[in-house]
A = this chain, B = another copy of it.
């Protein structure tokens, strides 16, 4: 008792499908993407794998369905960036950049599933990665838009290539966050510590002084 659907747990297709999809996400997050196989999913869902084929066709169909659950996985940090910048100092290009780096890092660090997805997108091309890649691209453009707008308010005459700049910075934060899972140091910096990330954020912020 106490199970998700202990009463209707039997012969309830909806509940079963939900358990299967949850098992996929659970496996991805905790065991890694190559642990997501028919047998493993069925076992973790506590369900016969035949049902997976019946309800989702094949593994790709399951993935496609599971991917729908991932809408919203990509972080929208625009709000938090502004909060952060206003919190510790007044809003400025420097604080904007510093907080972008720090909040971006935090959102990746706090989200194991997102990290798994970012790596997966580097290695596989399937229904799931295509969708999450798309979502990420949209969210990145939003983020860039917000940054551009704020920067234009602060420095109306600047002609910074914000998309290119943010592409490099977010890519850098992504890579360093992912890397910190397996290796502690990168270029001598401790990328597992807040101090290391402070240095990175400060270095990035420092560059905005030219405005």
Contact = CB atoms under 8 A, between A and B. Distances in A.
B137 A185 contact: yes
Interface stretch (A43-51, A54-62, A81-89, A196-204): A196-204
A9 interface: no
Nearest to A116: B123
A interface, how many residues as a size bin?
A: 35 or more
Q: Is the interface of A mostly helix, strand, loop or mixed?
A: helix
A176 B187 contact: no
Interface of A: 32, 34, 101, 119, 121-125, 129, 133, 137, 140-141, 144, 160-161, 163-176, 178-179, 181-183, 185-189, 191, 199-200, 202-204, 206-210
Copies of this chain, tallied across the complex: 2
10 contacts: A34-B34, A119-B122, A141-B188, A165-B203, A168-B169, A168-B176, A168-B200, A171-B171, A208-B210, A209-B210
